[in-house]
Structure 1
Amino acid sequence: MSGLLVVTAVPAEADAIRAGLTDPAVTVAPVGVGPAVAGAATARLLALAEAAGRPYRAVVSAGVAGGFAERVAVGGTVLATASIAADLGAESPDGFIPIDALGMPPALLGGGSTVPADPDLLAALRAALPEATVGPVLTVNTVTGTAASTAALSRRYPDAVAEAMEGYGVAVAAAQAGLPFAELRTVSNPIGPRDRGAWRMREALAALTEAAPALS
């Protein structure tokens, strides 16, 4: 996909994707962890490319993620139907209230807690990765690490398949620039009680390399 910008959090993810790419015109950039730095860095990269007369045509947030155990296996590949800011909102005695339900004024492009994936870009990725699990991917500022918080998150977003920390930020930057967006993740661990020893980072990075030709 010439003119594609692929944004990852860390260099290991970027290296894994580059290892599988077949199109040298795809740009892969590691920008840091979390939605704020991911959004700001993506916006800067898009603005610089446009100013140089070489604008990007689409943006993909890619990397490893935690997966909901009953919905996607460790080592599996995920394509997001939407990127959701899962903890953007307010607490209340009745539970979490998403930002969309707080009566805020209408937001700019890419505002609210959900940014849908571009239908055409998602369709192209699904065709190239037919075995990928497809569903909403949550963006969180704090990775879920207990059974109780996992259960609460699963109840709040029953269709979500994975959680990561950058997709929503990248999605908002793409929306602000008027560009198609998608999110591709591979699963290194089940969401739940934090157990670094059970993470399969090597397998997830290898799966990124295997999925990377879909971005070419």
Structure 2
Amino acid sequence: MNDYRILVVEDELTIAALLCEGLSKWGFDAQYTTDFEHVLATVARENPHLVLLDISLPFYNGYYWCGEIRKVSKVPIVFISSRTENMDIVLAMNMGGDDFITKPFELEIVVAKVQAVLRRAYDYQPESSHIAFCGAVLNLGEAAVYYGGEKIELTRNEFKILQTLLEHKGGVVAREELMQKLWDSDSFVDDNTLTVNVNRLRKKLEAAGLADCIETKKGLGYRIDD
């Protein structure tokens, strides 16, 4: 967990919970509020590093709260809304917003924009406990892959294979190197055992919608391109 706090101000609580869950998987301290009448007080109390702010809210809209926050704070504000008209985006930026995300959204896009805004504001550097590939994310701490909002559990060997391939993303990893990683040997393990493990990993990724991520280079080894 890093020290960056994200406050989600989103009327649709299912979406708010999804955002917090997704951001937490990336190491952020993310929480949402249900007190839409006192958003400014919540921001002052929680002192977040970034606010994800919907436009359509009860009592007062996101434009209003952005203006109120800007009177007392320079905290980065990223609007998130189903409104897609250019004037909505222009108004959000003019009110002091730092970026704008339209619904429906991919969680990976939200994370990327949050990280970009944090980098500009605080010289933030993402933690290295996650590796992105093929639109998915390998969580090194959990030994699991997240894709399309789903968690894909990996066995020890599947995790080591995927981690090794991603550490050499774009390059070919020799079968001997993978065997050394898995069993600390490339001499006393049946070569077919590695093939079985790679195929199991492939099938698990394909079942989740991640087909053709792992490429076989005949006579050489395996590779993953992004």
TM-score when normalising by structure 2: 0.32
Larger Rg: 2
Q: What TM-score do the two structures reach when normalised by structure 1?
A: 0.33
